Structure 1
Amino acid sequence: MSSKEVARKRFIDVFDELVEELKEILVSYKMPQEAIDWFVKNLNYNTPGGKLNRGLSVVDTFAILNNRTADKLSDEEYKKVAILGWCIELLQAYFLVADDMMDQSKTRRGQKCWYLVEGVGNIAINDSFMLEGAIYMILKKHFKKDSYYVDLLDLFHEVTFQTELGQLLDLVTADEEYVDLSKFSLDKHSFIVIFKTAYYSFYLPVALAMYMSGISSESDLKQVKDILIPLGEYFQIQDDYLDCFGTPEQIGKIGTDIKDNKCSWVINQALLKATPEQREILDNNYGKKDDKSEETVKQLFKEMNIEQIYNDYEESIVEKLRKQIDQIDESNGLKKDVLTAFLNKVYKRSK
């Protein structure tokens, strides 16, 4: 086993314990067995798949802040910080189960979306609520006696609301029934990706590890937020780019942004430089559900040299973020390495 596989296994072992704990809560409520089995299946199907980057980032960040590697954390410390990581993975699962229904997506992480699993259907709406509710049952059990318990609750509630605001703007901007490219703009795209992705995927893991490490001043939280939010925006722009230019094998799903009329970075760049003829092609083909229209749009993106625009953007944002990281004040225990680790994970990724 590689060290990465060992780390992943240790992390997943904590999830298995949490599933048992959640099961015990349902048993204590005298919940019928069929409902308990359903909830366990929901937890196992939707939470531990994927790369687990957000959850593992909490562990890695905590280790860096405490001058150790993750494998040198005591069992007690490791379990506690891994639980915070799993709370983010549960939050992610909650968003994805609902998001897949809203987008009518077919696959997620190489398997059928939960609502398409036989017998699930609209029950997935309630299942998504239960994934979110599980976060707060877990936090109560493991952190209620800690001085930063309210900070954790506050952070999860705020970041959840921010993510939902991003999703709202995404949905009203990219109506699948009525395609209107004049609704799109880079400013809207920026708001959507910052609120829908950057807060919970980048800021939340680091802030949780900081609270557990006793680094919680407003100035330190602001320092990391000022780097992690633009980094999260870069990550999502990269995601938009890969959705269009990556292969399903690379990205673990079939890219649907063009057919779904998404207000993605790629279409916004195309709209900025489109000639009247090119704009007409986009108006006639973007957001259409058929393969031919999608291929026409992809071809146009290639002709417009969107790939080069993306490569130039990537180099400039990474240079800017590296300079910002260099200026971090480490006097209260914050470490530049935390932010460098995040940047290195994102830079030039292909999936």
Structure 2
Amino acid sequence: MILALQSDRHLFEAKFDELLTEMTERDLTDPDLVDAYKRLREIFVYNVTGGKKNRGLSVIGSLRELLPPSQLTQDTVQRALMVGWCIEMVQGFFLMGDDIMDGSVTRRGQLCWYKKDGIGLDAINDIFLLEASVYRLLRRHCRTQPYYVHLLELFNEITFLSELGQALDLMTAAPLGQIDLSLFSMQKYKAIVKYKTAFYSFYFPVAAAMYMAGIYSEEEHNNAKQILLDMGEFFQIQDDYLDCYGDPVVTGKIGTDIQDNKCSWLVVKALEVMSTKQRTELEACYGRKDEASVAKVKELYNTLQMPTLYHKYEEESYQRLQKLIAQHAQNLPHSVFLNFAKKIYKRNK
């Protein structure tokens, strides 16, 4: 996402420590809740801090492009850092739930939260705790700001849309436990990506910064949305590619899209270009947990030259992005969007 200034990254990390103390120490006024607040602290540290933090950093990064330095007061910067962490918290509880639903083992190079000893499905309540903490922080730090209601509506709407996207994903991956590749299509895939990933990963932090900068115009938000949702689609396609072809040591995650019968870009694209015989082979192996079946699917992908098709798509996507920025960002700084592009294109994790 936005390329963060080193100083912003330092400020962002320091802000987390401050918010953690606020949420788990200063808020503790009832001694009966000591154990619950200890658990909350563990949830924060384990599930919110381990990622690249690009979404959270994109709030302050975007705000620096949208406001002149004279308007970036200390209070404004601190609120932007706090809102950024709230977005990272949303990301955290999405991933905690996603890992349970997918039966994943690792996340960000460590065991998934629910896989840790003594956690299990108690993680579901931990997800609720993390989500509730988001609105507690927003109320406390932004209630007096003119954009407060806009932020609340944004957080609510993005969470709702993302959960609709997750519903589509789950229903396509394993409807009633059956594997049926006829349910997969590029149209269905793009709908899942738009709602499950693109809104919260790309539009969300920029929209938050726009509201904080006093940009409330629906037209301007729609212009930003046009560009950022397209970029989010590429980002998820890239994620799908890395799930199969990325190095787990680099990505921090062992890919499971094939085993999980996911409607990923690779399988949808393969279905578009493969022969009838190859489709029969794919249907026999896709969505199976055994290593031999997974290996056969990957071999089929290689035969179909999926890496070549992906890299061709990546180049086309970048060119399309340049045109979208020229078309839709007349009144918004192009750097807001170009900074995202620099971060995501050619990434390997």
- TM-score interval for Structure 1 and Structure 2 normalised by the shorter chain: over 0.9
What residue ranges of structure 2 are gaps of 5+ in the alignment? none
Structure 1 stretch displaced more, 130-139 or 27-36: 27-36
Partner of 1:309: 309
Cα displacement (A) at 1:149: 0.6
Equivalent position amino acid for 1:343 in 2 = A
Among 317, 334, 337, the alignment partner of 1:336 is 334
Residue 26 of structure 1 and its aligned partner are, at CA, apart by: 4.7
Which residue is 1:15 aligned to?
16
1:210–1:216 Cα contact (<8 Å) kept: yes
Alpha-carbon distance between aligned partners in 1 of 2:238 and 2:30, rounded to the nearest angstrom: 45
The CA distance in 1 between the partners of 2:26 and 2:289, in whole Å, is 44
Please name the residue that 2:59 is paired with: 58
Task: Report the more deviating stretch, 121-130 or 270-279.
Answer: 270-279
Secondary structure class of the residue paired with 2:202: helix
Q: Which amino acid aligns with 1:114?
A: W
Q: Does residue 239 of structure 1 match 2:228?
A: no
Map 1:165-184 onto structure 2 (within 5 A).
165-175=164-174, 177-184=177-184
Once the two structures are TM-superposed, the CA of residue 4 in structure 1 deviates from its matched residue by: 5.8
Task: Quote how far apart the aligned CAs of 1:9 are.
Answer: 2.9
Contact 2:226/2:328 (8 A) holds in 1: no
Shift of 1:108: 0.3
CA root-mean-square deviation: 1.8
Displacement of 1:24 after TM fit? Answer: 4.6
Amino acid at match of 1:324: L
| d(CA) in 2 for partners of 1:212, 1:80 | 9
The alpha-carbon deviation at position 250 of structure 1 amounts to 2.4
1:254-312 Cα shifts (integer Å, max 9, x gaps)? 11111111000000011111212111111111111011111110011000011111111
CA distance in 1, matches of 2:290, 2:16: 40
For structure 1, the residue ranges without an aligned partner over 5 or more in a row are none
Corresponding residue of 2:127: 128
Give yes or no for contact 2:235–2:344 (8 Å, CA) kept in 1: yes
Counterpart residue type for residue 305 of structure 1: Q
**2:180 alignment partner AA:** D
Partner of 1:86: 85
| C-alpha distance in 2 between matches for 1:212 and 1:6 | 20
Q: Secondary structure at the match of 2:52?
A: coil
User: 1:154 aligns to what?
Assistant: 153
Written as runs of structure 1 = structure 2, the 5 A alignment for 1:1-351 is: 6-24=7-25, 26-28=27-29, 31-68=32-69, 73-175=72-174, 177-331=177-331, 334-351=332-349
* Structure possessing the higher relative contact order (Cα contacts under 8 Å, 6 or more residues apart): 2
Residue 343 of structure 1 deviates from its aligned partner by: 1.4
How far apart are residue 102 of structure 1 and its match? 0.5
Q: Distance in 1 between matches of 2:9 and 2:264?
A: 32
> Secondary structure of the equivalent of 1:157?
helix
Give the partner amino acid of 1:17: E
Provide TM-score, normalisation by structure 2. 0.95
The 1-side partners of 2:181 and 2:32 are apart by 49
Give 1:290's aligned amino acid. D
Quote the offset at 1:29 in angstroms: 5.1
Query: Which one-letter code corresponds to 2:19 in the other structure?
Result: L
Q: Is the 8 A contact 1:163 1:197 kept in 2?
A: yes
1:77 deviation in Å? 2.3
Task: Report the alpha carbon displacement of residue 13 of structure 1 after superposing the two structures with TM.
Answer: 1.1
Q: Is the 8 A contact 2:96 2:114 kept in 1?
A: yes
Q: Are the equivalent residues in 2 in contact too, given 1:328–1:336 (CA < 8 A)?
A: no
Asked if structure 2 preserves the Cα contact closer than 8 Å seen for 1:97 and 1:128, the reply is yes
Query: 2:199 & 2:259 partners in 1: Cα distance?
Result: 26
Q: How far apart, in 1, do the equivalents of 2:138 and 2:25 lie?
A: 15
Alignment partner of 1:90: what SS? helix
| Distance (whole Å) between structure 2 residues aligned to residue 89 and residue 206 of structure 1 | 14
Taking the aligned partners of 2:32 and 2:223, their CA distance within structure 1 comes to 46
Query: For the Cα contact (< 8 Å) 1:54–1:205, is it kept in 2?
Result: yes
For 2:243, give the aligned amino acid.
D
Is this contact kept in 2: 1:240–1:264, CA < 8 A?
A: yes
Cα deviation, 1:321-347, whole Å, max 9, x if unaligned, reads 10121234544xx21110111112111
Deviation per CA, 1:206-245: give whole Å up to 9, x if none. Answer: 0000111111211110110000001000100011011111
What is the aligned length?
345
Per-residue Cα deviation, 1:95-133 (whole angstroms, up to 9, x for no partner): 011110000100000011000111111110000011111
Give me the whole-angstrom Cα distance separating, in 1, the residues matched to 2:98 and 2:306.
27
Native 8 Å contact 1:189 1:265 kept in 2: yes
Identity over aligned pairs, percent: 46
Q: Deviations over 1:27-71 (max 9, x none)?
A: 2355421111111111111001110000001110001112459xx
CA deviations on 1:71-105 (whole Å, 9 max, x unpaired) are: x9543222110011001000000101111000010
